[in-house]
Amino acid sequence: MSSSSSLAFPPHLPVRADWLALRREAPLDPGREIVDAHHHLWDRPDTSGRYLLPELLDDIATSGHRVVQTVYVQARSMYRPDGPEALRPVGEVAFARQVAETPGPVRACDAIVGCADLTLADHVAPVLEQLLEAGGGRLRGIRLPVAYHADPAVRSSPVLPPPGLMAEASFRAGARQVARAGLSLDVWAYHTQLDEVAALARAVPELSLVLDHAGGPLGVGPYAGARARGEAECLAGLRVLAELPNVSVKLGGLAMGVSGFRFADEAAPPASDTLAECWRPVIEGCIALFGPARCMFESNFPVDKGMVGYGAVWNAFKRLAAPLSDAEQDALFAGTARRVYRMARRPADG
């Protein structure tokens, strides 16, 4: 069978509440403060379904973990329905700001990562200005998805970007405008693109670049049945990126179909000890390379919710972080996200 015909999950698995309810875990280290460094909100008629503030708060509450703040990351959600194409993502940032201003036990969307078409080059500057205004002081970054692989079995989004986007002069000019606006750039790329990420980070050294989902180790397509090879290649690419001081990394997103894990095929959701063992090579590798001060944990919900429960995700992270000092764990679970996204520790969190 060719790699392109290898079985793979669709980009977003449906959330099965009855299946997730088959496993509940008590939270480990329940007093530890957590900033969820990466999640989405949306209301879609397809299998992605509804995941808005009530669903996020329910996941947090039922998990028992002390999540006090979150970072909202663009998801092509709540765009303006009309007007100039370049300005439609302003609607998403305005929506996330409204969520952030909703009183409650969690400072949800306390930092916002919006979307802008960086291929507009210098012309993206007025778009960034409107995004900043819509964010009401909470916009901290931009993400334009770049995850591309030629094999059709490798898909993590319904929208496929063109190949080589990060190397285009227009994209890099747009990235410089992001830096000038005082914003960071989130990058979701597969491990096979990490050389392109490194080239971008070198080309725009003034830009704070946040690598999503532990560098995107692949376990499908050419890596179907060879996930260990994908992890090894990923860590080799991360080793290069770790030498660049303007790069930090998010630890999570490893329950997407492109990772090659088949948790959703099991009779019950995976336990946190299983997740910890499956994710150990990449997450421990990231921490060893970047150090806790440049790593932050993320749920990537609701994307990962098709395979794992929210509580089990954070228990898995706590198992993996347990050998580290309290200060190092504080950085991984909250401190790094607050520094990178310039988030204040709110008095209500204490």
pLDDT in tens, 127-146: 999 999 999 999 999 999 99
Quick check: is 76 in a domain?
no
Count of CB atoms situated within 10 Å of the CB of 149: 23
Quick check: is 108 in a domain?
no
Quick check: is 252 in a domain?
yes
Quick check: is 111 in a domain?
no
Quick check: is 280 in a domain?
yes
Stretch 292-309: mean pLDDT: 98
> Domain containing 318: what range?
3-66+81-86+118-129+146-345
Quick check: is 332 in a domain?
yes
pLDDT over 60 (residue 195): yes
Q: Which pair of structure tokens corresponds to residue 252?
A: 């999570």
Distance (Å) of CA 91 to CA 48, 108, 260? 20, 17, 34
| Cβ atoms 310, 275 nearer than 8 A | no
pLDDT tens sequence across 34-85: 999 999 999 987 766 899 999 999 999 999 999 999 999 999 999 999 999 9
Stretch 230-254: mean pLDDT: 98
> Which pTM does this prediction carry?
0.95
Quick check: is 106 in a domain?
no
Q: Which residue has the higher pLDDT, 46 or 216?
A: 216
Quick check: is 335 in a domain?
yes
| Cβ atoms 183, 174 nearer than 8 A | no
Q: How many domains does the chain have?
A: 1
The pLDDT mean for the chain works out to 94
The pLDDT score that the predictor gives to residue 40 is: 98
CATH number at residue 214: 3.20.20.140
* % of the chain residues with pLDDT over 90: 91
Q: Of 310, 290, 287, 285, which Cα lies nearest the Cα of 298?
A: 310
Q: Give CA–CA dist 148/34, Å, rounded.
A: 31
